Amino acid sequence: MRARHSYPIAMVAAAVIVLYASCGGGVLLEQQEEFQSGSGNSEQAVFYQEHKKRRFKMCWIQDSAATQPQRDRVKQVVLSEYAKTPIQFYGFGTCTDDIDAAYRIHIFDNPTDNPRVAEVGRSIKTRPMTTDGVTWHMRLNLSFEERGTLCKDPRYLDNCITSNALHEFGHLLGRVHEHAHRNSTCVDFRHKERIGRFRSQLPYDPDSIMNYCRGGDYTYARITRRLSPGDLSAFWMVYGKHFGTGYARVTHREGTAIKRKILTQQPRERCALSEGSSFKFKYLGTYDNHIKVKILDPHVQKACASKLRWNMAFLYPDHFSFWK
């Protein structure tokens, strides 16, 4: 991704709501994206030029039947992962001639370019790029036949396609590279980016989809097609104010590791809800990779009455999908 900015910055019996009981990834690319210096006060936040909205219509410039499986896969992963955030991507049909109708995704594969966005954050809508007569906001490689020896391997191709997509959609929303965080431990790319200029309100996240050193190793074997807990917290922190009141549905299997992690959070009270349960809530803020909410659903209020105070709760976003 080349931008014109400088970047500093349950099938289970139950799932869990962490209750308010007091008063109160980077993507592992085979080639690094390139950056050019520009203006912007991105040192002060985890996002650069975040949008003033939460819904984004996407479209594909090319709709060849040959790329249909890969395009469907990108749509599936993007919708599934970003459903854990306050952000909604929709559309994914064929682009029209109206450039302003949707964010345009260009499919490419050549040996001299990388998956990238035209701009990071809200400037992307007014500053698309044009290549060989094609105007686009985002470019994704769905084959890697011309570039990337590892990505050609069938074992890694799906990881390459989907992880790159999640990464670039993050840039569209204004996320900068996590390995540029002031407290970054990513040393592989210090020669390419100014490590330390990114002063985030959030701790450094080695597992962020925006981190080239995600997993601690520059190997495709460690790629996962997921937004990290830190990614989810960051999106809620910035875009939650555009969400307000909405609905949540329990979606995540409560594995042992997840359960242990929840039990280490404060507060420690828990209330179990069956998989598929949904309820209405109002978003209030973020807390330690959880979102603070007010439960508005009377059924949940009753079921969790002994643990709720003022109907306040903390939700672990990776256990839920959200909608308005």
Residue pLDDT, tens place only, 128-175: 999 989 999 999 999 888 766 677 788 888 888 898 899 999 999 999
Q: Supply 245's token pair.
A: 């009141």
Mean pLDDT value across residues 173-180? 87
pTM of this prediction exceeds 0.85: no
Q: Quick one: pLDDT at residue 199?
A: 56
Report whether pLDDT(181) > 90: no
Encode pLDDT of 249-292 as tens digits: 988 655 433 333 333 334 456 777 777 888 999 999 988 888 88
Cα four-point dihedral sign 27, 257, 243, 77? positive
Q: Quick one: pLDDT at residue 269?
A: 64
Q: Quick one: pLDDT at residue 200?
A: 64
Report whether pLDDT(28) > 70: no
Q: Which of 134, 122, 147, 173 minimizes the C-alpha distance to 32?
A: 147
Report whether pLDDT(223) > 80: no
Q: Quick one: pLDDT at residue 216?
A: 47
d(CA 12, CA 319): 12
Q: Give the least confident one: 9-13, 266-270, 285-289, 307-311.
A: 9-13
Mean pLDDT value across residues 77-92? 96
Q: Which of 213, 218, 210, 206 minimizes the C-alpha distance to 150?
A: 218
